[in-house]
Amino acid sequence: MFGSVLGAFTPSFAALGGKAWRIPWRLSKTRKANVRKRLREVDDVIDVLSASGIECKQLVLAQALPKEHEMDTRDKYTTFSRTAKNHRKGVHKVPHFTKRPIPRTTPTGF
Amino acid sequence: MFRCLLQRTPRFSGIWGQRQASTFIPQTPAANQDGKFWKITQTRSTIGLHPRTRENARVLGFKRRGHVVYRPITNELAGIILKLKEIIKVELVDQAVPIKKRAADGFEVIGRMNPLIAPGSKAAKPLLALRNRNPE
């Protein structure tokens, strides 16, 4: 969106408050609400499969995952990062994070 | 047309034969013992996703976002659905929805008459049954 209007090397519009290229370090309230909504939708998919009466190893692993209301708050909106400070970064910095599987738990020790 | 016929048959040849045979999806899904099917809707597109994930969506029969697909309840398809759980919505339904029916015409054709053809002549062929637009 901004690449075509502003170009790769031109400064951002003063009218936009100079914020055209800024990526906030944390998610806003609406974005967080949408993250929770998407987690609940995935929980619903796993629930339907559980009610279908099938046997599947991946289903057993999926049922062992915490549900959205059981998840740690920081696991919902941030993910483990090997390179970032404190080994944590905002989940919105993961490309296509809205439709990619994001781990629901942190690796042990982090 | 020949290529269409090939795509409808299960591919049993080669080292991938067994894998494709287990995920082969017939045109009309079979219900499980409770008479249920999965109604699966693709709610997000596969743009930007891993090629294997896109292949899984293709195998399930998805063509585009918003596409709804009815599938039998099997263990193999459950694994594929779990790979796509972030981009689909699944429901348990009682029947695979039939093809849409065409709305009724405001008239009923009871025959065809061409006054130029003399009855008993070579051109006077028997009336053919009209094509049924709503096969049961």
- What is the strand order of the sheet B68-71 is part of? B68-71, B37-42, B88-93
The SS3 of residue A71 is: coil
B36 touches A: beta carbon within 8 Å: yes
- Classify strands A88-90 and B68-71 as parallel, antiparallel or unpaired: unpaired
Look at residue B36 and give its three-state secondary structure. coil
Token pair 């930007």 is found at: B48
Confidence at B8, pLDDT banded by 50, 70, 90: very low
Scored b (16 or more CB within 10 A) or e, A20-30 reads: eeeeeeebeee
Which pair of structure tokens corresponds to residue A94? 């993961």
Q: How far apart are CA B52 and CA A51, in angstroms?
A: 27
| Residue in B45, B73, B83 closest to A52 by CB | B73
CA closest to B85 among chain A residues: A42
Task: Give the 3-state secondary structure of residue A105.
Answer: coil
Do residues A104 and A65 make contact, with C-beta atoms less than 8 angstroms apart?
yes
Q: Are residues B11 and B20 in contact, defined by beta-carbon separation less than 8 angstroms?
A: yes
State pLDDT tens for residues B61-99.
999 999 999 999 999 999 999 999 999 999 999 878 755
CB-based burial label for B3 (10 Å; 0-12, 13-18, 19+)? exposed
pLDDT bracket for residue B105 (50, 70, 90): confident
Per-residue pLDDT tens over the stretch A46-84: 999 999 999 999 999 999 999 999 999 999 999 999 999
The nearest CA of chain B is from the CA of A63 a distance in Å of 11
Instruction: Write out pLDDT tens, residues B17-61.
Output: 444 444 556 567 777 778 899 999 999 999 999 999 999 999 999
What the block records as the tokens of B48 is 């930007």
Q: What's residue A14's pLDDT?
A: 65
CB of B59 within 8 A of CB of B50? no
Count, residues in chain B:
136
Q: Which residues of chain B have a CB within 8 Å of the CB of A46?
A: 82, 85
Closest approach of A23 to chain B, Cα-based (Å): 20
A91: closest CA of chain B, how far (Å): 15
What are B126's two structure tokens? 């028997």
